[in-house]
Amino acid sequence: MESPSDDLELLGVIRAALGEQLTALGGTVQTVCGPDGDHLRATFGESSAGQHVLVVGHFDTVCPAGTLARRPFNLDGDWASGPGTFDMKGALVALELALRLMRDIGLPFAQPLHVVLVCDEEISSPDGRNVVLAGAAGAAAVLGLEPPHPNGDLKNGRRGVARIRIDVEGRESHSGLAAADGVSAIDELVDQLVVLRNKLPQGPELSCNVGTVSGGTRANVVAGQASAEVGLRFATQEAEHAAMAGLAAIERVRPGAQVTTRTLSSRPAWQPAADSWLVDFIRAQAAQLGESIGARPAGGAGDTNFTGAAGIPTVDGLGPLGHGAHAADERVNVGAILRRAALLAWLFATQFPADPR
């Protein structure tokens, strides 16, 4: 099933299918309406005692409608390939298999399990973030279904990200007959980007990428407008605050120009803790299934940024091993789906320890 983030019809088809599956597996399923599509929330084991555990995932993909016709789903030995198989439909299959395993062998939930699956993660969860944080309220722990590190390690932290748009309004004029009457928006934008780079903190905690630049109309016209989209990634909340403060303090360089900035999307930095009881707990449970799993921070962002940054015990990367997220050779390992399903079922059936903090 194709489910690009911006296609409400296709998102609705897969949401309905997921809802039916989760209901059949014993869940109480709700649709949470949103402006960019509707999300799913499901609860299991509500008669269990204690705080709930939240599982976070998404069912939207980056591939546009029609990709499946060019790159159909294919199963070749232990690998399933096709758009969205690795990020993150293989993980959704692992979740369903875990719940089916628990149902079929009569394995009870050790504590209530809540599941939130959003439809807009690939566009930075403009609405899904609210559903995730609402589901995380009062949770003992949050488990993310994003792919693991290439060696299977879990993710115990993530860089924050922000996508910023800088718009400049100048004044058009003939570049030969009346150049002095014009104010070049392009020149102003170039200068602003230089100023921005000089203002941003230097070091590994922050990276800045000017992703797009556009503006002007013709070579013989002083540009009346220009814009750029800038991508920021920050490892710490301090670097994030410094970067956003630098953007907020932007002032025009030349008289007559107007410069505005706005944040198109953002996710806060989730800094890894020096030690995490949740990481230790999951690693210990995996060891009982014969798996040795490490944990380390990740450079990319996801919906667990919101819960981790909010101080809720969080671990991501519980999806199966694969390759080529967002790429033409995207694929997921079927054996890894089964192993992750077994681990998820084991975790759901095991009492999480009380947060020692």
DSSP of 185-245, one letter per residue?
HHHHHHHHHHHHHHHSPPSTTEEEEEEEEEE-S-TTEE-SEEEEEEEEEESSHHHHHHHHH
The tens place of each residue's pLDDT in the chain, 357 residues long, gives 999 999 999 999 999 999 999 999 999 999 999 998 999 999 999 877 789 999 999 999 999 999 999 999 999 999 999 999 999 999 999 999 999 999 999 999 999 999 999 999 999 999 999 999 999 999 999 999 999 999 999 999 999 999 999 999 999 999 999 999 999 999 999 999 999 888 887 788 899 999 999 999 999 999 999 999 999 999 998 999 988 888 888 899 999 999 999 999 999 999 998 789 999 999 999 999 999 999 999 988 999 999 999 999 999 999 999 999 999 999 999 999 999 999 999 999 999 998 665
Q: Is 181 helix (H, G, I), strand (E, B) or coil?
A: helix
Torsion, Cα 280 284 285 288, to 10 degrees, reads: 170
Residue type, 352: F
At 184, list the tokens.
């070049």
Report the alpha-carbon angle 190-191-193, nearest 5.
65
- Whole-angstrom Cα distance, residue 85 to residue 55? 19
Per-residue pLDDT, 356: 63
Domains of the chain: 8-159+271-348 (3.40.630.10), 160-267 (3.30.70.360)
Per-residue pLDDT, 292: 95
Beta bridge partners of 53: 113, 141
Nearest Cα to 196, choosing from 234, 166, 161? Answer: 166
Nearest Cα to 313, choosing from 279, 340, 269? Answer: 279
CB-based contacts of 137: which residues, under 8 Å, 6+ apart?
none
**Region of residue 37 (left: phi > 0; alpha: psi -120 to 50; beta: else):** left
Rg (CA), the chain: 23
* Contact yes or no for 142/347 (Cβ under 8 A): no
Report the alpha-carbon angle 170-226-210, nearest 5.
140
Per-residue pLDDT, 193: 94
Per-residue pLDDT, 357: 59
* Contact yes or no for 344/94 (Cβ under 8 A): yes
Extended beta strands in the chain, E state: 28-32, 39-44, 53-58, 74-76, 79-81, 113-118, 141-144, 154-158, 160-169, 173-174, 206-215, 221-222, 225-234, 258-267, 295-298, 314-315, 322-323, 331-333
Residue with tokens 């999300």: 39
Q: Is 308 helix (H, G, I), strand (E, B) or coil?
A: helix
Contacts 24+ apart (CB under 8 A), 12-15: 12/37, 12/38, 14/59, 15/39, 15/40, 15/59, 15/117, 15/119
Q: Is 311 helix (H, G, I), strand (E, B) or coil?
A: coil
Residue type, 7: D
Per-residue pLDDT, 48: 78
